[in-house]
Each structure stands twice: as structure tokens, then as C-alpha cells.
Structure 1
Amino acid sequence: MPVLAVLRHEEGVRLDPDPLVALFAELGEGGAERVVRRALLELSEQLSEVAAHFAAGRTDDLIRSARMLAKVAEQVGMATLARVARDVVRTGAAGDLTARAATVARLGRIGERSLAALWDLSEAGG
């Protein structure tokens, strides 16, 4: 009887603390926490939009949403999420449907872990 292999996609995420430190220095604790919470909401919405655009085959909208996601992710120090979002932009522009599907799936996995990590960090800080 053949043995079925189960692949687990458990790659880590990297949060760069420098943008967060700068936010707290510039805006104070309350202001920075509000910015982080807005960023979490925006990132969650963009992740949903990327998935919806991919499922509907709307490549231009997919690229736009992934670019916006990368920009917001960079602003709050989500280095891994920003990099994978830029990968989605590249595969979207290249027209490689297989690569696009793989990077969108990876973005979903990294997005969940990144949002959880930033949420845990924001909760620990305040």
C-alpha cells in the first residue's frame, strides 16, 4: 500500500522592529497602537482582496492589492509578508498561472502568521 506524504507549510515570519520603534517614538504609545491596529485591519482586508481577485482571475486588481499590501506591511515591519506580496506582484505581471497560484497560497499562509505575530506583539505592548 502506498504511503501518502503530508506536507506542512510552516515557515517563519520576520518582523522588523525598527519601523515599529519609529512609530512609537513619533506618535507615542496610543498613536502607534492605533496605527498598528489600522494596519492590521488594512492588511487583513488586502489579503482577502488578493484571494478574491485571484479566484476571479482579475490580474490587474490582484497586482494592485498585492502592491498595497506590501506597502502597508513594510510600514509596520512585516518584512516577510511584504516580500511575498511583491512576489505575487511579479508572478501576476509575468503571466505564469502556476507560479501565481503558488505565491498567492504562500501569501495567505504568511499573511495569517504575520497578522497573528503583530497582533500578539501589539497586545503584549499595550
Structure 2
Amino acid sequence: MTVSAILSLKYSDSIGLDADVLEALYDQLGPFSADTIVSGAVEELAVRLSDIAPLYRAGRMTDLARLAQSMVAISTQIGLRTLARVAEDVCHCATAEDGTALAATLCRLERIGDRSLTAIWDLQDITV
């Protein structure tokens, strides 16, 4: 038996950026304060994204679920709906100790997280 072709999967996840949330944040706080909040949130999300893999490898599911739940709150605050939803899925999978689903949702969290943070940074570059 030979393999004549290698199949490559292409992901087309939408990042789900809620511009209304960001707009409301900027209207309420003003540009300087909102930029500070958004920048801080993006940095916190980046740190949490990098902290997830070591927790997973160590089998620390309670800590992983807690970290993912904190990502839900931060993502929601700055309008990253899809990132919040996927982080919530990770939290549920870690709590249920469903290894297969957790591995899949962690991969999706990494993809969505990277793309979401890039989108926010790009959006901030446009507004500055």
C-alpha cells in the first residue's frame, strides 16, 4: 500500500472580534485609558496562552481550567468573542478531564489566540 497524496488540513476559524465592545470601551474611557486597558489585556492573554501548554503537559487540569476561565473574562472585556468561547471550551474539557477533546480545543485555542491578538494589535496600529 502506498500513499499517493498527503492531505493537508486548512483551518478557517474566524476570530470573532466584536467591534461594538471595543467602541464602547473607547467611548467610556477615552483613547488613552482604553488603549492602556486593551494593551494590558492583550499582554495578559499572551502570557496566559504561553502558560497553558506547560500546565497541560504537567497534567494540572484544575490550574488549566482556572487559567482558561481567566482568559474568558479578559477576552470578553475587549470583544474577542471567539477566543472567549474557545477558552470556555478548554475550561469544560479540562474540568471533565476529557483528554482527546482537551487536546483538540487547546490546539484551537492556540490558533484563535494568536490570530486574535494579532488582530487587536493591527487594529490598534490603525487607530493610533
TM-score range, shorter-chain basis? over 0.9
Aligned twin of 1:16: 18
Number of equivalent positions: 126
1:116 aligned to which of 93, 118, 122: 118
Compute the TM-score of the two structures, normalised by the length of structure 2.
0.94
Q: What is the deviation of 1:52? A: 1.8
Q: Which runs of 5+ in 1 are unaligned?
A: none
Aligned twin of 1:47: 49
Q: Extract structure 1 runs of 4+ deviating beyond 3 A.
A: none
Q: 1:1-54 CA deviation, whole Å, 9 max, x = no partner?
A: 411111122312110012211111111011101111101100001111122211
**3-12 vs 74-83, which deviates more?**
3-12
Aligned residue for 2:6, secondary structure, equals coil
Q: 1:40-77 CA deviation, whole Å, 9 max, x = no partner?
A: 10000111112221121110110010000011000000
Q: What is the deviation of 1:105? A: 0.8
Distance in 1, matches of 2:61 and 2:96, equals: 10
Aligned residue for 2:13, secondary structure, equals coil
Aligned twin of 1:83: 85
Q: In structure 2, give the amino acid aligned to 1:46.
A: R
Aligned twin of 2:76: 74
Distance in 2, matches of 1:19 and 1:12, equals: 17
Compute the TM-score of the two structures, normalised by the length of structure 1.
0.96
Q: Which runs of 5+ in 2 are unaligned?
A: none
